[in-house]
Amino acid sequence: MKVQSVSFLNSRNNNIDKTEKSRLTIPFFTTNNNNNVADVFIKNSTPVQTVKNTSKMISFMGYSVHIVDGGNHAANMNHFAQSIGEGKWDLYNKEVETNYRDPGIKQLENLEWKLKELNFEQTLSYDKYHDAVYIAMPILANVPLQNLEAQMNAVMGTHTHLTPQNIRSKKDEVIAFLKRIYDEPDKYRQYINYMDPMGQGLEKTYGIIYQINKLAQRRNTKVFIPAGHPEYASIKWMSEQRNQKPELYNYIATGFDKDNAVHNMQREIKDNGWYDFNLLSLSEADIVNVKDADGKDYIYSAYDSCVKDGARGVYNFSPVRDENGKLLGYGYHDTKHVDYPYEEFPANDEIQGIAKFVGRPLKEVLADSETTQAFKDDVWNNRSRERYADKLFKVSDIFPQHERDYNKMDLKGDYIDSSLQLYFRTNKDGLVIFPNCDCEGSGRPSVLSMWGSCFSIFNAIKDDIKIREKFNERGYFDKETLYRKHPKEIDSLLFESEELIKDKRYDEAEHVLQYAAELEKVAGLHGYKPLEALGDFYTMKKDYHQAENCYNSALNELSRKIINKLKIEGVQYTLKDCADYIRFVEMLNPQELEYRYNKANYDKMNFIQKMFVEEPQKPEDLKNTNKYIQFKKVSKLYTGCSRLYEKLAENCELRNEDFPAFACNWAANMMQTMNETSDELLNRRADKNTYLGDFLNVD
């Protein structure tokens, strides 16, 4: 999950009238062959009128997973869920109507009704769920932030500035706006239409968030929603406008950014403030970001402050063949196991020109010199190329160098098919690959790029189930047991992780630390040490984004813990109260000075004089009072806030984010002072608000 610690990106007005910038994009299935996912599936999409509200179940680990989705996307999510759950998920499908213009978009009015049904069903039959219920909702309700800002300010009469970094701190304002257009959609139809050119029904967003929150607040129920891909549409549009699609796809496949083309586009997008925000991220669900196969942020990952989690969501989609070369289907994980049978996949026709080559040895499909010359002659004379349909040709044998340079063919591939449109390469095993679909960057044969935070939510659910089962293994069947065993268990886990790191067993160490963090979360005691240790672990692994998320979460938990401890005998004190009282007790206060003076005089008196004077009474030792003891505990804890801000500053420096680093160092110093500003920072963090820009007069 990415939670930016501070926001200082320059922002200029986005042209919200551009169709390409304001449309809702769902890039979960991409061929990159001049088609996006919606292009691939649009011919196979089920019309809204024919969608049935069916529900089927597939066995999985005894945990119930409800998938709220629609169209071909729902079918693909089911196949993927089964592939990672090894066929053991208890999957229940809740079909949602799709948009008639773009089947990748789900209609929000229908979604609201489906969530109401799910809330009702959960109420009636919850007792049959013995452990946990998971709700996977791979649906987006995207609006460019600048568009959202403009319509919100127009309707509410405000002057709020929205950025990816401050969106969580502005959550109440945005929710109030969404409620207003939900209550009176006809009155605000003009503003709704500006945000919703595809007619998704964005005016229903408030009702959906309300239903999601009802589900998320239920015992042992967790809702997972994708964070989305805020820069995907902008990068796609810019690469097309600038003729830099070859640079983009080559960067995704190889990691090589020729002339910094991709990074320059990303920088320009951030400078312009172009960010497509998923409005459903404002709910209390787990908002999951997309990670690559190595657990790092993908090129299209979200980075707004509403993101809470992250998991792998990038997969090559490999053809699986039998010993005779017949295509049996496709696999998410390798070229041997069928996860999606050929007869069930809806886009076979669209990818057949790619699939007939990908995964086969080059020698089986590469044309020899004689065939190549005949092909060139037929192309030159505009004759039929049909007889070459099963052959690939070396690009260097077909095109002269100047033409290859002009059309950037070297970035596209080394081999080309008879249509002169599809470019191929070979991997280290000598197998043909289609580089435009190598979203993993692994070289594994792929006919489609299966990526997106929708895939990530199922991996996040799988990880959560692993942790829950770990709880059961260790005997945490109820809260009472958890509270009793909790402190020693945390210390034991932290020690165990340190030993694993020493032995360079990093995967095991990460799992132990994640389990410890989840244990703290379930206990509800606002423990922060496992999160801080996990942040240190990711820093060591140079996964600075994950480290930042952990430090931010640790700071939030520690802030809540401190505020809880500042409440003594029904009175809520501040950090300033705490510091002042400690100083008062530990210095020679007036009562102590008066006692010492009177006691000294009393001791000088003779026996007769003492008979007529009452001996001075030592004032109460304030160091033994509950108030002082509690405040001393707070004084030890709040230094942890300063330390965590310092770690966030170091994290920003490692990513060359100079001004955010400055802001975090400023916050670290402020936390040392225990004054009014410290209290404001503490309360803001306790509310999961990470924004610092307004403290430094930067919006």
Reported as a single tens digit per residue, the pLDDT across 212-237 is: 999 988 877 899 999 999 999 999 99
User: Is position 329 within any domain?
Assistant: no
CB atoms within 10 A of CB 205: 28
135 and 222 both lie in a single domain? yes
DSSP 314: E
Q: In terms of domains, do 364 and 490 share one?
A: no
493 and 429, same domain (yes or no): no
Residue 124 sits in the same domain as residue 207:
yes
Specify whether 258 is located in the same domain as 298: no
Of 524 and 316, more confident = 316
Pairwise CA distance, residues 466 & 664, whole Å? 35
Residue 52 pLDDT: 32
Q: Is residue 481 scored above 60 in pLDDT?
A: no
Q: How confident is the model at residue 353 (pLDDT cuts 50, 70, 90)?
A: very high
Q: Could you tell me if residue 462 is inside a domain?
A: no
574 and 653 housed in the same domain: yes
The count of structural domains within the chain is 5
494 and 594 part of one domain: no
Q: Where are the beta strands (DSSP E) in 280-354?
A: 286-291, 309-312, 314-321, 327-331, 340-341
Q: What pLDDT was estimated at residue 379?
A: 95
Q: How far does Cα 172 stand from its chain's mean position?
A: 21
User: What secondary structure letter does DSSP report for 336?
Assistant: S
Q: Examine the pLDDT at 198 and tell me if it is beyond 50.
A: yes
**Nearest C-alpha neighbor of 660 from the set 146, 2, 13, 165:** 165
- Average the pLDDT over 51-57 and give the result: 35
Tokens standing for residue 482: 């958890």
Contact in structure between 230 and 164 (CB atoms under 8 Å): yes
- Considering the domain architecture, whether residues 219 and 306 belong to the same structural domain is answered as yes
Mean pLDDT check: name the lowest of 64-78, 458-472, 473-487, 677-691: 473-487
State residue 305's pLDDT score: 86
321 occurs within a structural domain? no
Q: Are 650 and 538 in contact (CB under 8 A)?
A: no
Conformation bin of residue 273: beta by default, left when phi > 0, alpha when psi is -120 to 50: left
DSSP 44: G
Whether 413 maps to a domain, the answer reads yes
Predicted pLDDT of residue 520: 77
Quick one: pLDDT at residue 47?
29
Pair (224, 242) in one structural domain: no
Question: CA of 587: how far to CAs of 566, 573, 617, 633, 636, in Å?
Answer: 21, 21, 19, 18, 19
On whether both 92 and 194 belong to a single domain, the answer is: yes
**Quick one: which of 1, 192, 202 has its CA closest to 99?**
202
Domain boundaries, position 145? 19-228+280-312
Single residue among 416, 449, 482 that ends a domain in this structure:
449
Residue 61 banded pLDDT, cuts 50, 70, 90: low
| Boundary residue ending a domain (466, 499, 525) | 525
Query: Which residues does 120 contact at the CB level (< 8 Å), separation at least 6?
Result: none
Model confidence at 10, pLDDT cuts 50, 70, 90, reads very low
Mean pLDDT of the chain, nearest integer: 83
Segment 440-471, tens digit of pLDDT: 999 999 999 999 999 999 999 988 887 777 76
As given in the structure block, the two tokens for residue 626 are 């509950």
Q: What is the pLDDT of residue 42?
A: 26
CA distance 455 to 301: 13
pLDDT value at position 692? 82
Same domain, 36 and 178: yes
- Across the range 599-604, mean pLDDT stands at 72
Mean pLDDT of 404-412: 96
Residue 108 counted as domain residue: yes
More reliable by pLDDT, 544 or 37: 544
In-domain check, residue 1: no
pLDDT at 45 over 90: no
Residues 544 and 672 in one domain: yes
Band of residue 123 on the pLDDT scale cut at 50, 70, 90 = low
Domain final residue, candidates 266, 292, 312:
312
Question: Is 143 within the bounds of a domain?
Answer: yes
pLDDT tens digits along 129-187: 345 789 999 999 999 999 999 999 999 999 999 999 889 888 999 999 999 999 999 99
Domain for residue 533, yes or no? no
Average pLDDT of the segment spanning 254-270: 95
